[in-house]
A = this chain, B = another copy of it.
Amino acid sequence: MYAAQVKGALLRAAPTVPLVDLTHDLPRHRVPEAAFVFRAMASSFPPGTTHVAVVDPGVGGSRAAIAIRCGEGSVLVGPDNGVLAPLARALGSPEAFRLDPRTFSTERRVGTTFDGRDLFAPAAARIALGAPLGRLGTRTPFHDLHLPEATRSGSHARGEVVHVDHFGNLISNVPSEWIAPSALRLSVAIGGRRSSRVPWVRSYEALGRGRLGTLGSSFGTVEVAVAEGSASVRLRARTGSRLEFQWDGGGVAATDTVNSVPNLPRRRR
Contact = CB atoms under 8 A, between A and B. Distances in A.
Nearest to A106: B44
A219 B57 contact: no
B21 A21 contact: yes
A203 B60 contact: yes
Contacts of A58: 203-205
A206 interface: yes
Interface stretch (A110-118, A135-143, A236-244): A110-118
A4 interface: yes
Given A7-B20, A218-B2, A110 B203 contact: no
A5 interface: yes
Contact of A218 (B111, B209, B215): B111
Copies in the complex: 3
Nearest to A14: B46
Interface string A17-54: 01111110110110000000100111111100100000
Instruction: Classify the interface of chain A: helix, strand, loop or mixed.
Output: loop
B221 A111 contact: yes
Interface string A127-163: 0000000000000000000000000000000000000
Interface string A211-229: 0000111111100000110
A266 interface: no
A44 B110 contact: yes
Interface in A177-216: 202-206, 209, 215-216
A267 interface: no
A220 B110 contact: yes
| Most B-side CB within 10 Å, residue of A45, A62, A114, A219 | A45
Contacts of A29: 228
Given A42-B8, A58-B204, A206-B61, A111 B1 contact: no
Contact of A205 (B3, B9, B62, B113): B62
A11 interface: yes
A227 B56 CA distance: 11
Contacts of A92: none
A205 B60 contact: yes
Contacts of A12: 44-46
A52 B110 CA distance: 21
Contacts of A46: 8, 11-12, 15
Nearest to A163: B1
Contacts of A15: 18, 46
